[in-house]
Amino acid sequence: MVPMTSVSGGTLRRRPAQRRSLERVERMLDECARLLDEVGYDSLTTKEVARRAEVPIGTFYQFFSDKQGLVRALALRNLESFLERIADKLGAVDLKHWGDVVDLAVDEFVQMKRSRPGFAVVDFGEILPSPGGPALKGTQHMLDAALENNAVVADRLRRLVLETLDVPVIPGLDRALLVAVEAGDAVLKLAFRVSPEGAPELITECKIMIRRYLAAHLP
């Protein structure tokens, strides 16, 4: 279970102060994820999430303003889990090249797409009514009102790379990582449109593309 410290900022109407409240919020997020797989976003209801999480509907609205607020919190939890998984693996292996981080990040994303409840519908904010998109209009700012979802992901990855690896801060790094995330996102969407499990050959092409692009920007 991902710590609720990851669901911060404006995603909750109020932060759970007690363990019981924390567990209730986590259950609601868990049931939201399962229902996204079962019925999709359009048929997702706050009433059903509350029923399956075994909490009063009034409790739901203490923490979430509406269905979109719930999904936004789930997207942020997904992002934090993704970053934690990468950080754990970076700490456990001896990387020979920064390009290995690209492979690791793509592999973790693909694994979450294949196995994490709700992730095929809502990964880091965009709502995908069908595998591989297109995304539901108006969901590109789910994580931040000012920044698009991919810009938030790129910034968090930049911070993780700088904190974990011996990569110098160079001019244009922010832009390069944003382009890499945008391009990788597009190819991976294609991979999951072609195959429900993600077409392996397209996943490989995604890694090659990002590696070659970043090679021109990173030492």
Residue 74's alpha-carbon distances to 6, 41, 81, 196, in angstroms, are 10, 13, 10, 22
Give dist(CA 102, CA 82) in Å, integer: 13
> For the domain with range 4-215, which CATH number is right: 1.10.357.10, 1.10.260.40, 3.40.50.1950, 1.20.120.160?
1.10.357.10
- Name the residue ranges covered by the structural domains of the chain: 4-215
- Rg of the chain over Cα atoms, rounded to whole angstroms, equals 18
122 phi, psi to nearest 5 deg: -135, 105
What is the mean pLDDT for each group of 10 consecutive residues in the chain (219 residues)?
41 64 92 97 96 95 93 96 92 77 95 97 93 87 93 93 77 92 97 96 98 87
pLDDT of residue 9: 44
Are the CB atoms for 143 and 79 separated by under 8 Å? Answer: yes
pLDDT digit string, tens, across residues 74-125: 999 999 999 999 999 888 877 767 788 899 999 999 999 999 999 999 999 9
pLDDT of residue 3: 39
Cα torsion 87, 91, 93, 95 to 10°: value is 70
pLDDT of residue 189: 95
pLDDT of residue 97: 74
